[in-house]
Amino acid sequence: MNRRVLLQLVVVLTTTLAVVILGFAAAHARIDAPTVCLGLLMLAGTVLRPRVGQVYRTSLDYVLVIALYLLSGVGSAVLVGAVGALSQDRRHPLVKKVFNGAQSVICAAAGGMVFHYTGGPIGDQVLLHPWDAIWTTTAANATWLVVNALLLCVVLSLEPGDPTPAVFLRKVALPTSPSLLGYGLLGLLLAVAWLSGLGFLSILLIFIPLYVSRWALSQYEAERRAQAATMRAFIQVIETKDLYTRGHSERVSEGVGMLGRQLGLTVDRQSALEHAGLLHDVGKVGVPTSIIQKSGRLDDSEMDAIRLHPARGVELIGNIPFLEEVKSAVLHHHEKYDGSGYPAGLSGENIPYFARIIGIVDAFDCLTSTRSYRPARGVEETLAILIQDRYTHFDPGLVDAFVDVIRRHGWKAAADQPAPDGSVAAAIDHDDLSLGSGGGATGSAAGPD
């Protein structure tokens, strides 16, 4: 309750400040050709906003406002910055729209103040004092970034829920700031090209490179999405071999993702871990269907065929330029902490980190899913089994972290599975801890027989 009042207070304060700034800006603004042209461009950008996405818009704001500092002065730049906030995502509530608008006005003004008081050159002076233009605009740009981040942090700390200010700073503000500083220089170039006599034609010179790099980035995103979707589709095909393991790989990927976020992995390793979780059983495609679907216990040679699946998996994904950790995780996800696993019989910390993580989530998802020979276990019951098997099967530290994550965020267990059928002695899951040597594991997890 208290927080909401504070939040409202912040919004009212920023809005008032923004209105005052706008008044000043309007009084001091020069309405000249660059202001009108770039203002219209900003307006066009706002109309296109829903199509091009938030980050693109931000970089457009930067380029235009910083060019205007140099071309027409701070007042015009602030006014045009305000134009940029006119149209926003329709789904946002009004409060958010007002705050976003106020925020962009305040940021542009803060940057403008720095630009003004450090003696930033305006108009033809830019061409005579290039170094002054470079460092004052960069200072203004940096101020803008800091003020923007500060305002967002205030709001995020008052608004409960994701993301927290720390996460925002680490994941969003810091990684994007170098490129935004770079785009600021593009604004300076726009001003220079304008002053060269090209006038509004300079816009074309600036926006074609900007557009191409955007195109490349969007293609990058598209390729990444395509890859994720393609891997999921393949995993689904491989899982068609066994009705009961359907969705297993995707749930494991989800689970290791949750655990990875808890462990604070870097972005690259986080996505590598999720890939490894998705692909850990991909080698099952090399295990004859007759063994996977076999009823009852497996004999030794059949078990050997199953034990080959991690190596098969690595063989399959070996050429894909993943991080090495993905491959080692796929190879070793059936190792156990006490050294009784396969294929290498590694123990303790010798088991690759990702493999230890996947081992836990793999077992967890298996136990919480229905198998033909037993019903699904409850989440709490399964967590108790995991805790019992710390040291024998799993890395104790990771088990604690995982139990913590699941208790906090909950778990979406497998759904839509056929009910267990007592009359049929059916396929046995190699991941299943609750079975003896015929299945996947031995130990205290071999539940009530």
Partner 1 sequence: MANGLTEGLELRRMGSGVVILTAGAALSLVAIIMTARVGMSEWSYAVIFGALIAIGEMVQFRVDRSRNRAPIATSAALGYAMLRGPSVAVPPDVAQIVAVTAVATAAGILPRAIAGLWWDAVVSCRRGVSVACAAAVFGVLAPRDLAWTGRWQDALWLAGAMMAAVLSAGSVDALIGAGQATERYNRPFPAALRDELVVMGRIGLAMGISGILLAAGTSLLGLWAPPLVVVPLLLTQFAFRRFASAQRTYRTTVRSMARSTEIAGFSSPGQNARTAQLAVALGHDLGLTPSRMEALEYAALLSGVGQLALADPSPGGASLLRTRQERQRAAEIGASVIERSGALDHVAEIVRHSNDTYRQGLAKNLDIPLESGIVNVALAYEQLVGEGTGQSPDKAMESIGLGIGAEYDPVVVESLRRVIGRGFRF
Q: Which residues bind partner 1 (CB under 8 A)?
A: 124, 127, 130-131, 134, 179, 182-183, 185-186, 188-189, 192-193, 195-199, 201, 204-206, 208-210, 212-217, 219-220, 222-227, 229-234, 236-238, 240, 282-283, 285-286, 289, 312, 315-322
Say which residues have a Cβ less than 8 Å from residue 373's Cβ, sequence separation at least 6: 420, 425, 426, 428
Residues 127, 173: Cα–Cα separation, whole Å: 32
Cross-strand pairs, 394: 390
* Contacts of residue 237, Cβ cutoff 8 Å, sequence gap at least 6: none
Residue number with CB closer to partner 1 (244 or 402): 244
Measured from the CB of residue 203, what is the shortest distance to partner 1 in angstroms? 12
Q: What is the dihedral of CA 81, 189, 212, 201, to 10 degrees?
A: 80
Q: Name the residue nearer to partner 1 (CB basis): 159 or 315.
A: 315
Asked if residue 330 lies in contact with residue 220, where contact means CB atoms within 8 angstroms, the answer is no
Conformational region of residue 443, where left means phi above 0, alpha means psi within -120 to 50, and beta covers everything else: left
B/e letters for 227-240, b = 16+ CB within 10 Å, e = fewer, are: eeeebeebbeebbe
CB of 108 to partner 1, least distance (A): 20
- Please list the residues that pair with 371 across neighbouring strands: 374
Least separation in angstroms between CB 72 and partner 1: 17
In the complex with partner 1, the residue whose CB is nearer, 69 or 99, is 69
Cα–Cα distance measured from residue 275 to residue 269, given in angstroms and rounded to the nearest whole number: 10
By beta-carbon proximity to partner 1, the closer residue of 191 and 256 is: 191
Closer CB to partner 1, residue 130 or residue 264? 130
What is the length of the chain?
Answer: 449
* CB 286, min distance to partner 1, A: 4
Q: How far is the CB of 423 from partner 1 (least distance, A)?
A: 23
Nearer to partner 1, 43 or 52 (CB): 52
Task: Using the minimum distance from each CB to partner 1, give the nearer residue, 52 or 113.
Answer: 52
Q: Which is nearer to partner 1, 43 or 205 (CB)?
A: 205
Q: Is the peptide bond before 163 cis (omega within 30 degrees of 0)?
A: yes
CB of 99 to partner 1, least distance (A): 29
Torsion of CA 48, 49, 55, 57, to 10 degrees: 70
**Cβ closest to partner 1, residue 54 vs residue 236:** 236
CB 115 within 8 A of CB 74: yes
Q: Closer to partner 1 at the Cβ: 24 or 220?
A: 220
**Under 8 Å CB-to-CB from 424, ≥6 apart: which residues?**
295, 372
CB of 124: closest distance to partner 1 in angstroms? 8
Only one residue has tokens 């060269």, namely: 196
3-state secondary structure 208-256: HHHHHHHHHHHHHHHHHHHHHHHHHHHHHHHHCCCHHHCCHHHHHHHHH
Q: Smallest gap, in angstroms, from Cβ of residue 326 to partner 1? A: 11
Work out how close the CB of 20 gets to partner 1 at its nearest, in angstroms, rounded to a whole number: 34
CB of 396 to partner 1, least distance (A): 35
